[in-house]
Structure 1
């Protein structure tokens, strides 16, 4: 099972049991197998920065990268060829460690078949990278957008909290599941109760290729939640000791 648990960014509370030596990313990567780079949404990073991040992590570590707001919020998916080419060139610095690219849409962006179709054609013309899309308008939770995403091999994010019940479940292309848990009842802040995380771990264990990113980072809950889910998964897949006598 290829299940990856991580957080948005690699900062973590000081009281958690992480290695004492190394950069923040190196210490984070000693315990978690992936991270979602959110800073790329706000500003570009040089290719050599991505190369440095990749070089400082274990061979099996992977990075998801959030697509710049210039593409999603400013140009609103239209006329993005130049911006996308730059973003892809920069993130190519991650090499084989580049995982899914995350397209998070503004809440005001309704589904428009013509605009979305042109965007997806441009996207797939420039890259075949695994891609996930997080819409935040209910118009995306319908048959036509679901079919269009599936046709272009774009997975729809399963989000918590969800804008409508359907948004809590993965959609679009089903070759990849990507969950983003933002904190509830207060997004970006609230920790999840243990029973909720245990139930989540059970769901993840039953899925195929899956990423689960905790975005409730404001007060450090994301790292604690991620580690608890990881512990629950480890307990589920660890072989039980034999009780036989011979």
Structure 2
């Protein structure tokens, strides 16, 4: 069972490579095996295509009670429509993902690098989205205009934090993290989607996640460096750090 002090650590997708199969149970679907070890996952396939409500329900039924899903908002909303005239699309998406029930932990809005911050458009979009769901929402903006006080103020109005991404678009101190959810999304550096993170980096990351938790925030850490299979080893290594610390704390209290 996952300790309450462990962040929501996971990968973008739940595939298990043969190199890591020994870390997971042998029986069950990939998701069932993944969910027996890791506490969270980011559903990326929702970005490319719609899933039936019963599919989300089946996924939710496949994992432990304390497991949480992050679901990426479809590109038809973020990239094709660029947040404009999307009310029916939002409604359909929200109806689908709500079949995850209380295992829906977060909605991820990733924006195209070319999308500038436009206050009226952004206000209308997030007002619509947050009216239709009580799930936390995080935003991964990728144009520098989003990392200014006006954008941070608007996101704060809706209780939304910007994703802390690596590589970053702007310095992390400019990101609004006043919301209750902090979402760290690691794409791999120096080579995006391929590079593994060092143990030194993971040690620093552990400390940062603990600091967010000490502030009373729900901390997510999703590894998206999946192209060369680095995400899963990084996620397992980070999770092991928290488990070792939790076990040591229990021993001290005993």
Range into which the TM-score falls when normalised by the shorter chain? over 0.9
The SS at the match of 2:18 is coil
- Mark the CA change 1:170 to 1:20 in structure 2 (over 3 Å): closer, same or farther: farther
Residue matched to 1:214: 223
Residue matched to 2:166: 160
Residue matched to 1:135: 141
On the 8 A contact 1:214/1:223 being kept in 2, the answer is: yes
Alpha-carbon distance between aligned partners in 1 of 2:38 and 2:253, rounded to the nearest angstrom: 32
Cα distance, 1:164 vs structure 2 = 2.1
Q: Count matched residues.
A: 243
Pair 1:65 & 2:71 matched:
yes
Mapping 1:65-104, distance limit 5 Å: 65-104=71-110
After superposition, the C-alpha distances for 1:138-171 in whole angstroms (9 at most, x for unaligned) are 11001010011011111110000101223x7752
Superposed CA RMSD = 1.7
Alpha-carbon distance between aligned partners in 2 of 1:77 and 1:126, rounded to the nearest angstrom: 15
Mapping 1:168-187, distance limit 5 Å: 170-187=175-192
Tell me the TM-score normalised to structure 1 length.
0.94
Q: 1:198 aligns with which of 200, 203, 210?
A: 203
Alpha-carbon distance between aligned partners in 2 of 1:87 and 1:120, rounded to the nearest angstrom: 14
Alpha-carbon distance between aligned partners in 1 of 2:193 and 2:144, rounded to the nearest angstrom: 21
Tell me the TM-score normalised to structure 2 length.
0.91
On the 8 A contact 1:66/1:101 being kept in 2, the answer is: yes
Q: 2:242 aligns with which of 218, 233, 244?
A: 233
Mapping 1:26-45, distance limit 5 Å: 26-45=32-51
Alpha-carbon distance between aligned partners in 2 of 1:143 and 1:188, rounded to the nearest angstrom: 30
Query: Which of structure 1's runs of 4+ aligned residues deviate more than 6 A?
Result: none
- Mark the CA change 1:93 to 1:29 in structure 2 (over 3 Å): closer, same or farther: same
- Mark the CA change 1:242 to 1:212 in structure 2 (over 3 Å): closer, same or farther: closer
Q: Which runs of 5+ in 1 are unaligned?
A: none
Cα distance, 1:194 vs structure 2 = 0.8
After superposition, the C-alpha distances for 1:69-123 in whole angstroms (9 at most, x for unaligned) are 0000000001111000000011111011111000000000010111111112212
Q: Which runs of 5+ in 2 are unaligned?
A: none
The SS at the match of 1:109 is coil
Alpha-carbon distance between aligned partners in 1 of 2:178 and 2:220, rounded to the nearest angstrom: 14
On the 8 A contact 1:205/1:233 being kept in 2, the answer is: no
Pair 1:188 & 2:193 matched:
yes
On the 8 A contact 1:4/1:212 being kept in 2, the answer is: yes
After superposition, the C-alpha distances for 1:174-221 in whole angstroms (9 at most, x for unaligned) are 211000000001111110111001110111112121000000011211
